Structure 1
Amino acid sequence: MSHRQVLESLSGLLLGMFVSILAGTVVATSLPLIVSDLQGDQSAYTWVVTGTLLATTVSTPVWGKFADLFNRKLLIQVALVVFVLGSALAGFSEDTGTLIAFRILQGLGAGGLAALSQIIMADIISPRERGKYAGLFGAVMALGTIGGPLLGGVVTDAFGWRWNFFIALPVAVVAIILLQVTLHLPARVKRVVSIDYLGIVLIGGGVSLLLLWVTLAGKSFAWASLPSFAMVLGAAILLIAAVIVEFRVKEPIIPLDLFKNRTVTLAVIASLAVGVAMFGTSVFLSQYMQLARGATPTQSGLLTIPMMGGLLIASTVFGNLISRTGKWKAIMVSGSVLVLAGSLLLGSLRFDTSLVFVGVFMFILGAGVGMIMQNLVLVVQNTVEITHLGVATSTITFFRSLGGTVGVSVMGSVLGTLVAQYIRDGTATLSPANQLAAMQTLGDGTIPQVSLLPAALRIVVESAYGTGVGNVFLIMVPLAIITLVMIALLPNIPLGTMTGIERERSGTDTDPTTGQILVGVSTASVALPPVAPDQRR
């Protein structure tokens, strides 16, 4: 395909990605106001985010496996419809319970969009060329992540927060039409497929129970308590059963022989911390700006631009550099160093930290994420068998989402505990009248609207959230160190020059343990004419 043909095929894909990101980020700056308006507390705030991430995490390997079995173009259109439907329904929520339920539906679609966009890109672009196009995905991601909070803040201030959930609908319709018109993939050979329903249930149940435990422990019950032990034991039993099932079924959701590939194993571990950096910062920086700095939703969106600006610049510049040189290892190691540095710097946040310094800290972390996030998927796609391209891609996305979900849950739990303690300590130094006012406005644990608080209480709340958010970012530091080590250990395998479709046509595949190209391996799963042996390269 020529450069123009690739861009035409990617247009609907990129717009679909933009819709999914926009619908997710447009509410980011408004969440404190939304949860407050719906009478929710810190736990509800965390679950509005965690519910979406949980559904995304659980559904991602399912979408990835379906991509190896069914029509990928139809699958991504279905995922887009599910995502936007969940977003639109969330706009009618009357309490945090219904909001969380519809956000879960939204997450089911997001899992498909996250996995399928990467899989389809691998179908039509070779690993060597994928860097510069991955820069386009990074640019779209950054544009949606920057523009979403800004647009959400303006819409919230002008029309109310419910409109945040409706504005993506017309763009989604255009994206579905573009996908139908511009994306042309070869028809897959029809065959009898075996769907691993038991594996879906066991993996989904085990991961969900584990995340429920992380979210509820310390609030609804003690960490060392009977309910806590029961949930951990239940999750362990379900996940062990899932491993046994995946070894035995014909078409496993996550083929465990993937982990014989050193690149896959190391990239999976590295993806966990990347997920925490991606999702944790977007969630808690919004709280920091509004609850510690008194910013409006619009101002909050503007103040978080440096984070996404760093991601945009790094993913675009270094994506093109990888395509030109074929060198990726040094770039990814440098990116993991920036993630570690950004995590440490954000851990120093307080309610009176200079916003210039906050912007610099966010830019450093964003640049680090931009240098490694897409490239982790790239190096895995470069080394796996073509028949496992979909499931390998979704596995990396799955563990990235899992890291983000667990990270947000843990960070939210820690933040709720810290803020409650800091507020108690702060109000103890106030006058009796202010202590009574604090009891009336802050005693039920709901997230306050800072601008409506008396001056004395406002200082206490801003200080509590400023210090609390800074401290929870320190949770990312040990994970960032693990990411640095894992990326440093990745085998430095050269990037291939054949697209996924070309590999299927030519019968060329990759050794799953060494990443070396194999020639003459039968991988045909698409209805394409055979290529003569002397044309294979």
Structure 2
Amino acid sequence: MNNYQSQYNLNKSKIIMIMGGLMVGLLVAALDNSIISTAMPKIIGNLQGMEYYVWPFTSYMLTSTIAIILFGKLSDIYGRKPIIISGIITFIITSIMCGFATNMLELTIFRGLQGIGGGILISLPFIVVGEIFSPKERGKYMGILASVFGISSVLGPILGGVITDTIGWRWVFFVNVPIGIVAVIILMYSLPNLKLPDVKKAIDYLGIITFTLAMSAFFLGFTLARDLNIYPLTVIFGLFLFAALMFVLFILAEKKAEEPILPPYLFSNSIFTLSSIENFLATAIIFGGIVYIPLFAQNVIGMSATNSGLVLIPMLISLTIASNIAGQIISKTGKYKKLAIAEFVITGIGIILLSTMNVNTSPYALVAYSTILGLGSGMMYTVFTISVQNAFSLREIAITTSAMQFFRNVGATVAIPVFGYVINYTMASSAVINLTPKEVLAVSIQNVFITSIVLAFIALVIAFFLKEMSLDENKPVTQEKIPEEIVEKAK
């Protein structure tokens, strides 16, 4: 039993309640992503604007990415409970707003606001699990928590397809309301306000401003780069230059901040740095599948929204199983490096198979290929979070856990517009002039997966350099901070 379990008298029944509350809270955010993936083709048809297909995804990912770091740090100051409750309430309100959107601009804006709540909900539960369980126990409970992504991903496509085909796409957002209310009730009753006792209430305003501006310019530059024939290169280059400047200012601000939102010394740890890169690449790969497999199923094979959702179910079940198995293996062996390598071997095989799809591909082949992708990708949620939590003390768990989710979101934020650019570039290419519309889209999606093959290979190579730190050899969980001499050396 670690410090928090004894401090708050967290017996078995309370832990079950907390885990249940965290899982429902995580479910409300995770469910939304999987539901909208199958509903988006119908949303586009209703609100018009195929050229804006990726904007609701990217606006959500941008704001959730920013929120992960900001509110992870604020939860150090004000406690986990009020932050996670406020995140659920924000998510509920903005879900209602999304449901009432009348055009793509409104939906994009409302999804951006929704991402603030989503960012809180996909990071805080993992922070709590990292704090209330010992290093040896984290693998098992982290796998259980990560399985919510699989559960929601199984329910999401089904609900998204059925709701879209029956009562309309707006209800894919309204369904978040009752789930969110249940999550608030459970967490209000069960979750103690976990809080580090000696954190200074110093908010890093300069870091927040420069970080937000950097991410926003970075995101906007990638998104506009999808349409080089519309937006001049000078504008896009200017956005990237501004983003680079803000990142530099952000780094300088963090070195001087009393309580930085992303301490620079974290990157002096090779496990943290390599795990961050791996999370970035793994998420970029899986999001290519989540976004474009339903599009392929509906617009190339000709399946309904409901059936395109059913196609994703085996992939997401395999993702859930892989996450839980990885957690159990880590808890029993205290090792994670071989799992990291296996993840990208399996993911690479799945991506290679997906890249061979064409207009003649059967739904059964699509299911098989996507299932292999899910089996590899599912390990990510457990392996790299545990590896990083194990490399730092309890005091750094919040920021390191948030950082892992941050790099996952950055991977998706960058991947979606990049893949969108690949789609648009292929569609405009002279090589597809003589093809039918279905064949053009099939070739475009093929190119997305070919791009993902390169990412999977890079990630596999990096996995071999990941340092192994056995959980059995890890020091007991404490609230000690990184020694000042290490911090100063990193600066």
TM-score, with length taken from structure 1: 0.84
Report the 3-state secondary structure (helix = DSSP H, G, I; strand = E; otherwise coil) of the residue aligned with 2:208.
helix
Where do 1:257-268 residues align within 5 Å? 257-268=265-276
For the structure 1 residues 496 and 209, does the alpha-carbon distance in structure 2 shift closer, same or farther, using more than 3 Å as the test?
farther
Residues 77 and 499 of structure 1: is their aligned pair in 2 closer, same or farther, counting only changes over 3 Å?
A: farther
Aligned counterparts of 1:36 and 1:82: Cα–Cα separation in 2: 28
User: For the residues of structure 1 that align with 2:429 and 2:158, how far apart are their CA atoms?
Assistant: 32
Residue 28 (1) aligns with residue 3 (2): no
Q: Percent same amino acid at aligned positions?
A: 32
For residue 117 of structure 2, what is the amino acid of its counterpart? Answer: G
- State which drifts further: 92-101 or 266-275: 266-275
SS of the residue corresponding to residue 387 of structure 1 reads: helix
Corresponding residue number in structure 2 for 1:344: 352
| Aligned equivalent of 1:430 | none
* Cα pair 1:70 1:188 within 8 Å, conserved: no
Change (3 A) 1:497 1:85: farther
**Equivalent position to 1:150, from 142, 158, 167:** 158
Provide Cα deviations, 1:293-324, integer angstroms capped at 9, x if missing partner.
11111001001112102101111222112212
The 2-side partners of 1:155 and 1:218 are apart by: 31
Structure 1 position 486, deviation (Å): 2.3
SS in 2 for 1:23: helix
CA contact (8 A) 1:274 1:373 kept: no
Alignment of 1:289-304 (within 5 A): 289-304=297-312
Distance 1:35 1:205 in 2: 29
CA displacement at 1:187 relative to structure 2: 5.2
Q: Deviations over 1:380-411 (max 9, x none)?
A: 01112332221111111111100111001100
Q: Select the residue among 442, 445, 454 that pairs with 1:466.
A: 442
CA offsets per residue over residues 176-217 of structure 1, 9 Å max, x none?
A: 110011122455437651111221121111122122111112
C-alpha displacement of 1:354: 2.6
- 8 Å CA contact 1:125–1:498 kept in 2: the answer is no
Counterpart residue number, 2:56: 48
AA at the equivalent of 2:478: R
1:278 to 282, 286, 296: 286
* 1:64-103 map, 5 Å: 64-103=72-111
Q: 2:454 aligns with which of 478, 499, 517?
A: 478
How far off is 1:241 after superposition? 1.1
Q: Are positions 1:492 and 2:468 aligned together? A: yes
Tell me if structure 1 keeps the 8 A contact 2:226–2:417: no
Report the CA distance between 1:120 and its aligned residue: 0.6
The 8 Å contact of residues 273 and 483 in structure 1, kept in 2 or not, is answered as yes
CA distance in 1, matches of 2:184, 2:473: 30
Contact 1:221–1:227 (8 Å) recurs in 2: no
Q: Among residues 381, 387, 402, which one is paired with 2:395 in the alignment?
A: 387
User: How far is 1:49 from its partner?
Assistant: 0.7
Higher-Rg structure is 1
Q: CA deviation at 1:420?
A: 4.2
Matched to 1:233, the amino acid is: L
Equivalent positions of 1:398-437 (< 5 A) are 398-421=406-429, 425-426=433-434
2 CA distance for matches of 1:142 and 1:34? 24
Q: How much does 1:249 deviate?
A: 1.4
Aligned pair partner of 2:69 in 38, 56, 61: 61
Alignment of 1:154-169 (within 5 A): 154-169=162-177
- Counterparts in 2 of 1:186 and 1:32: CA distance versus 1, 3 Å: closer
Q: Describe the shift of the 1:119–1:497 C-alpha distance in structure 2 as closer, same or farther (beyond 3 A).
A: farther
CA contact (8 A) 1:272 1:399 kept: yes
Tell me the equivalent position of 2:3.
none
Q: Could you give the per-residue CA deviations for residues 456-488 of structure 1, whole angstroms, max 9, x where no partner exists?
A: xxxx22222122111111111222122222222
Deviation at 1:85, TM superposition (A): 1.6
Contact 2:207 2:253 in 1 (8 A): yes
Looking at structure 2, the residues matched to 83 and 360 of structure 1 have their Cα atoms a distance apart, in angstroms, of: 34
- What is the distance in 2 between the residues matched to 1:114 and 1:249? 26
For residues 484 and 159 of structure 2, the distance between their equivalents in structure 1, rounded to whole angstroms, comes to 44
Q: Which amino acid aligns with 1:177?
A: I
**Aligned mate of 1:503, from 469, 478, 481:** 478
Change (3 A) 1:499 1:310: farther
Q: Is the CA contact 1:126–1:498 (under 8 Å) kept in the aligned structure 2?
A: no
Tell whether 2:20 aligns with 1:6: no
Q: Which of the numbers 137, 150, 154 marks the counterpart of 2:145?
A: 137
Separation of aligned partners in 1, 2:194 and 2:244: 41
Q: In structure 2, the residue corresponding to 1:75 is in which secondary structure?
A: helix
1:92 positional shift? 0.3
Q: Work out whether residues 258 and 512 of structure 1, in 8 Å CA contact, stay in contact via their aligned partners in 2.
A: no
Cα distance in structure 2, aligned partners of 1:61 and 1:237: 19
Give the Cα separation in 2 of the matches to 1:410 and 1:20: 24
Which runs of structure 2 are paired with 1:113-124 in the superposition (5 Å)?
113-124=121-132
Deviations 1:485-531 (A, max 9, x none): 2222111101169999x523xx5x778999xxxxxxxxxxxxxxxxx
Question: Would you say the 8 A contact 1:139–1:315 is kept in 2?
Answer: yes
Identify if the C-alpha distance between structure 1 residues 91 and 386 changes in structure 2 by more than 3 Å, giving closer, same or farther.
same
Distance of 2:402 and 2:91 partners within structure 1: 17
Distance in 2, matches of 1:511 and 1:141, equals 36
- Contact in 1 for aligned 2:17/2:186 (Cα 8 Å): no
- SS at structure 1 position matched to 2:220: helix
CA deviation map 1:203-256 (0-9, x unaligned): 111122122111112515579832222122111111111111111111111100
1:496–1:122: structure 2 CA closer, same or farther, 3 Å change rule? farther
Q: Deviations over 1:236-294 (max 9, x none)?
A: 11111111111111111110011111110111111111120232211111111111111
Closer, same or farther in 2 for the Cα pair 1:316/1:513, shift >3 Å? farther
- Over the residues paired in the alignment, what is the CA RMSD in angstroms? 2.3
CA contact (8 A) 2:82 2:193 kept: no
Q: Distance in 2 between matches of 1:205 and 1:327?
A: 39
The structure with the greater share of residues assigned to helix is 2
Alignment CA distance shift 1:510-1:230 (3 Å): closer
Cα offsets for 1:156-189 (capped at 9, x unmatched): 1111111111012111111111001112245543
- 2:25 paired residue among 13, 16, 27: 16
Alpha carbons of 1:424 and 1:513: their partners in 2 closer, same or farther (altered >3 Å)? farther
Any idea what SS the aligned residue of 2:227 has?
A: coil
Aligned-pair CA distance for 1:109: 0.9
Residues 275, 401 of structure 1: 8 Å contact kept: yes
Comparing 415-424 with 241-250, greater Cα deviation is found at 415-424
- The 2-side partners of 1:277 and 1:314 are apart by 16
Please say if 1:288 is aligned against 2:301.
no
The answer for unaligned runs of 5 or more in structure 2 is 1-9, 487-491
Q: Letter of the 2:357 partner, please give it.
A: L
- Residue 313, structure 1, aligned to residue 289, structure 2: no
Q: 1:209 to 1:397 in 2, by over 3 A?
A: same
CA distance in 1, matches of 2:328, 2:308: 31
Structure 1 Cα separation of the partners of residues 39 and 431 of structure 2:
23
Secondary structure of the 2:235 match is helix
Measure the CA separation in 2 of the matches of 1:256 and 1:192. 18
